[in-house]
């Protein structure tokens, strides 16, 4: 076997060489080391990657292998071998730290740079003192490498060393220290930053630190950098100014946003990355830049508005309505929808605005469902009595977005103008209202609601019967539980599901739900609704009923039963969770992962570790990601990495290991 592995390492076929490295853990120590080094120096990245994983999994505490890796790091003939050795030493972490420090103490010249870099990768806080001393080395490359390594190691001592280097007269080191502090996420006081701002190069590097400083004095320098000829610096200043405004409030940035600086923000709105666009969006609104509104809406239409942008818009207030409606009249799609929503929101507590209402009514005829839905939601706040029939007509629209918005609007109108809504309903044939009738009656609080709902419940339309059940649920304690329970035997599964859901919401109907469960509804979604509701009601037989559902053929029912047991804090819930996690259906296991977080930490970790052996690759990968949140799982993940053959799972384990090591 040993000779076969070594022969395969010299084969021309890349896959043979990769698999040979994979099998190398079976070799005697000296030959295994040779196999690893051969793989680390291979011409193909896949073989090198396999060798790095093998070393990381099996070489911890192996002093001879670590010394061989350091030799490979310092050799100058094979750059691929050097880089692979560097990564392998970093993956070994503190196991390699002491050997790297010993070698650093007896090495002279430029080779020290590679040892310093390896110490930074290894996450070795014990090396901080030596690296701090090397920051003053006569060789600027060694000093800069030490600063970079400290930035990666982090910690109070490393950060203080970088702060001390800000006073260095050597510009190269000062800039390296600044860059390191930026990467550490350090927060420097204005007194530390102010002396650097006379140096144009340092000022540019310090931009993120200015944003994190929380100092009002940093607003001016950052605002001036918006006009920088460098797009990169201007974009950085945009993000930093946004961060500063988030901590100090929008008022500090409103005055410095001059016309020329607003032009720069418009450029970032159109051309920046996501973070820059979001920052520019909020600042443009803070600067009340009417010309930028089109771009603001285009960006916001593809994303959510950041909280600072919402605040800026509110500060702009009623004065923004006219510019928004002007933009709305010449754009389409998401931008138009957002313009309507924002204008309606700003005008919500103001006196009725005829122009706004006219724009909302005009948009009801737009071809885009999103625009119509936005107009309907806006009209909920600005409607008059004569508008209600149009909204009622849209409550049964075939377009989901429009229908949903209209029904939301009717809910609001039922709370704000119940009499007007009842009056509007009285002039429309009941048949035309369809499934929305019960909802309208319940929301409007009409005196005859219950009688009308009972009448509507006799309808042959399943949608209307289901809507009646939902409306009866809105009545709370006044709801006729017997009528709802009877609907558990309705011919339509949608109605049965609605009945089960409403009983759970009311916390009543235990006996009817148990009878329906024992009857074994043929529709798994109905069974799942019954099980979910049983988790919300009281009764001595419920726990046993839920446990019995863990053997159901339908994954949705199994998951619903498990969540019901966990919600009820049943003593057998954790045992049930383990049973479900061994379920053969991938969907069941996948939907159950969230439930692991409800267990005590040690038990949750044990469950996740057990799932590393699940037959499905995606379950194993998700288990690795879960373990990244728990300490003490490194050995388990490393062992699994050595045995795992699926590259997707291996990638998940590699991503989890640094987080586990970081604590």
| Residue extents of the structural domains in the chain | 187-334
Is residue 223 within 8 A of residue 261, CB to CB? The reply is yes
Residues of 56-88 as b/e, b for ≥16 C-beta within 10 angstroms?
Answer: bbbbbebeebbebbbebbbeeeeeebbbbbbbb
- Sorted by sequence, the CB contacts under 8 Å of residue 482 that are 6+ apart come out as none
Q: Residue 263: which pLDDT band, with cuts at 50, 70 and 90?
A: very high
Taking only Cα atoms into account, the Rg of the chain, rounded to an integer number of angstroms, comes to 33
Residue 199 CB neighbour total at 10 angstroms: 15
Residue 269 pLDDT greater than 60, yes or no? yes
Window from 14-18, 217-221, 569-573, 598-602 with minimum mean pLDDT = 569-573
Residue 111 CB neighbour total at 10 angstroms: 16
3-state secondary structure of 185: coil
Q: Residue 446: which pLDDT band, with cuts at 50, 70 and 90?
A: very low
Is residue 633 within 8 A of residue 662, CB to CB? The reply is no
Closest Cα to residue 373, out of 338, 418, 348?
338
At residue 455, the pLDDT reads 67
Residue 504 pLDDT greater than 70, yes or no? yes
Closest Cα to residue 326, out of 307, 304, 346, 343?
343
- The whole-angstrom separation of Cα 624 and Cα 36 is 25
- The whole-angstrom separation of Cα 70 and Cα 86 is 8
Residue 89 pLDDT greater than 90, yes or no? yes
Give the residue-averaged pLDDT of 331-353: 87
Q: Residue 426: which pLDDT band, with cuts at 50, 70 and 90?
A: low
Q: Compute CA distances 286 → 223, 315, 617, whole Å.
A: 13, 8, 49
At residue 53, the pLDDT reads 92
At residue 60, the pLDDT reads 79
Residue range 48-80, pLDDT digits in tens: 999 999 998 888 788 999 999 999 999 988 999
Is residue 642 within 8 A of residue 654, CB to CB? The reply is no
Residue range 277-321, pLDDT digits in tens: 999 999 999 999 999 999 899 888 887 888 898 899 889 988 999
CA atoms within 13 A on the CB side of 196: 29
Q: Residue 3: which pLDDT band, with cuts at 50, 70 and 90?
A: confident
Both tokens of 382, joined, read 């600005």
At residue 447, the pLDDT reads 44
The alpha carbon of 180 is separated from its chain's Cα centroid by a whole number of angstroms, namely 27
- Angle 369-382/400-416 helices, nearest 10 degrees? 0
Give the residue-averaged pLDDT of 580-587: 60
Length of the chain: 663
At residue 598, the pLDDT reads 65
At residue 575, the pLDDT reads 59
3-state secondary structure of 460: coil
- Sorted by sequence, the CB contacts under 8 Å of residue 557 that are 6+ apart come out as 524, 527, 528, 531, 549
Compute the mean pLDDT over every residue in the chain, rounded to the nearest whole number.
84
- The whole-angstrom separation of Cα 125 and Cα 119 is 9
Q: Residue 220: which pLDDT band, with cuts at 50, 70 and 90?
A: very high
The alpha carbon of 302 is separated from its chain's Cα centroid by a whole number of angstroms, namely 17
Give the residue-averaged pLDDT of 129-133: 89
Residues of 259-292 as b/e, b for ≥16 C-beta within 10 angstroms?
Answer: eebbebbbbbbeebeeebbbbbbbbbbbbbbbeb
- Which residue carries 């103008």 as its tokens? 417
At residue 594, the pLDDT reads 66
Q: Residue 578: which pLDDT band, with cuts at 50, 70 and 90?
A: low
- Please state the pTM of the whole predicted model: 0.62
- The whole-angstrom separation of Cα 343 and Cα 328 is 10
Both tokens of 54, joined, read 């093998």
Give the residue-averaged pLDDT of 169-181: 82
At residue 69, the pLDDT reads 94
- The whole-angstrom separation of Cα 565 and Cα 577 is 9
Q: Residue 441: which pLDDT band, with cuts at 50, 70 and 90?
A: low
Helix (H) / strand (E) containing 265: helix 259-271
Is residue 610 within 8 A of residue 618, CB to CB? The reply is no
Residues of 219-241 as b/e, b for ≥16 C-beta within 10 angstroms?
Answer: bebbbebbebeeeebbbbbbbbb
Is residue 193 within 8 A of residue 209, CB to CB? The reply is yes
State the DSSP string of 38-107.
HHHT-SSHHHHHHHHHHHHHH-TT-HHHHHHHHHHHH-SS-HHHHHHHHHHHHHHGGGTHHHHHHHHHT-
State the DSSP string of 200-247.
HHHHHHTHHHHHHS--GGGHHHHHHHTT-S-HHHHHHHHHHHHHHHHH
Sign of CA dihedral 452, 453, 458, 464: positive
Is residue 360 within 8 A of residue 377, CB to CB? The reply is no
- The whole-angstrom separation of Cα 257 and Cα 265 is 9
State the DSSP string of 551-607.
G-SSHHHHHHHHHHHHHTT-TTHHHHHHHHHT-S-HHHHHHHHHHHTTS-HHHHHHH
- Which residue carries 């923000």 as its tokens? 265
Closest Cα to residue 86, out of 112, 110, 121?
121
- Which residue carries 């930035």 as its tokens? 151
Is residue 389 within 8 A of residue 421, CB to CB? The reply is no
DSSP state of 255: T
- Angle 231-248/307-316 helices, nearest 10 degrees? 70
Is residue 353 within 8 A of residue 365, CB to CB? The reply is no
Is residue 84 within 8 A of residue 51, CB to CB? The reply is yes
- Which residue carries 């050795």 as its tokens? 85
Residues of 24-38 as b/e, b for ≥16 C-beta within 10 angstroms?
Answer: beebeeeebbbbbbb
Q: Compute CA distances 335 → 79, 262, 342, 506, 509, whole Å.
A: 52, 20, 11, 41, 47
């Amino acid at each position: 076997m040993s000779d076969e592995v070594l022969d395969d390492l010299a084969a021309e076929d890349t896959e043979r060489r990769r698999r040979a490295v994979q099998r190398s853990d079976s070799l005697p120590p000296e030959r295994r080391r040779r196999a690893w080094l051969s793989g680390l120096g291979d011409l193909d990245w896949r073989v090198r990657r396999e060798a790095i994983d093998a070393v990381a999994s099996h070489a911890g505490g192996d002093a001879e292998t670590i010394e061989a890796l350091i030799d490979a790091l310092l050799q100058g003939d094979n750059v691929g071998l050097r880089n692979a050795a560097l990564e392998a030493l970093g993956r070994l972490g503190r196991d390699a730290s002491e050997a790297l420090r010993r070698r650093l103490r007896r090495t002279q010249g430029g080779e020290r740079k590679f040892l310093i870099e390896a110490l930074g990768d290894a996450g070795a806080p014990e090396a901080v003192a030596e690296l701090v001393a090397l920051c003053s080395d006569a060789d600027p490359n060694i000093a800069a490498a030490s600063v970079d390594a400290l930035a990666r190691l982090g910690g109070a001592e490393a950060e203080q060393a970088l702060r001390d280097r800000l006073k260095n007269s050597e510009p190269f080191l000062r800039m390296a220290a600044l860059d390191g502090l930026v990467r550490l996420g350090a927060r420097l006081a204005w007194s530390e930053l102010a002396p650097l701002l006379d140096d144009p190069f340092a000022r540019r590097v310090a931009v993120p630190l200015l944003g994190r400083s929380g100092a009002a004095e940093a607003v001016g320098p950052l605002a001036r950098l918006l006009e920088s000829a460098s797009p990169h610096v201007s974009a950085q200043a945009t993000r930093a100014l946004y961060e500063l405004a988030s901590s100090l409030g929008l008022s500090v940035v409103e005055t410095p946003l001059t016309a020329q600086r607003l032009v720069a923000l418009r450029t970032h709105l159109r051309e920046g990355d996501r973070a820059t666009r979001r920052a520019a969006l909020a600042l443009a609104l803070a600067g009340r830049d009417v010309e930028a509104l089109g771009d603001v809406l285009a960006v916001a239409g593809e994303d959510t508005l950041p909280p600072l942008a919402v605040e800026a818009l509110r500060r702009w207030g009623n004065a923004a309505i006219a510019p928004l409606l002007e933009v709305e009249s010449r754009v389409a799609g998401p931008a138009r929808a957002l313009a309507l929503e924002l204008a309606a929101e700003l005008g919500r507590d103001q006196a009725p605005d005829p122009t706004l209402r006219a724009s909302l009514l005009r948009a009801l005829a737009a071809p885009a469902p999103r625009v119509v839905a936005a107009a309907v939601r806006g009209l909920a706040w600005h409607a008059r009595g004569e508008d209600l029939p149009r909204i009622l007509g849209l409550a049964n629209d075939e377009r989901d977005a429009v229908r949903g918005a209209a029904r939301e609007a009717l809910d609001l109108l039922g709370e704000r103008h119940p009499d007007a809504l009842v009056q509007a309903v009285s002039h429309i044939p009941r048949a035309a209202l369809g499934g929305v009738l019960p909802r309208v009656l319940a929301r409007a609080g009409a005196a005859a609601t219950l009688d009308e709902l009972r009448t509507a419940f006799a309808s042959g339309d399943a949608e209307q019967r289901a809507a009646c059940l939902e409306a009866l649920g809105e009545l709370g304690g006044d709801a006729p539980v017997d009528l709802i329970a009877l609907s558990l035997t309705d011919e339509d599964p949608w109605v049965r599901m609605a009945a089960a859901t409403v009983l759970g919401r009311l916390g009543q109907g235990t006996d009817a739900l148990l009878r329906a469960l024992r009857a074994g509804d043929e529709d798994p979604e109905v069974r799942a609704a019954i099980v979910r509701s049983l988790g919300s009601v009281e009764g001595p037989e419920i726990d046993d009923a839920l446990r019995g559902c863990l053997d159901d053929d339908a994954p949705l029912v199994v998951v619903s039963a498990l969540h019901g047991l966990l919600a009820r804090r049943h003593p057998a819930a954790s045992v049930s969770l383990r049973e479900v996690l061994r379920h053969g259906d991938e969907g069941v296991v996948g939907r159950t992962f969230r439930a692991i977080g409800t267990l005590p930490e040690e038990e949750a970790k044990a469950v996740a570790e057990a799932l590393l052996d699940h037959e499905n690759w995606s379950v194993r990968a998700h288990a690795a990601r879960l373990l990244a949140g728990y300490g003490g799982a490194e050995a388990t993940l490393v062992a699994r990495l050595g045995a795992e053959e699926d590259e997707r799972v291996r990638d998940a384990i590699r991503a989890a290991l640094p987080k586990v090591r970081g604590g």
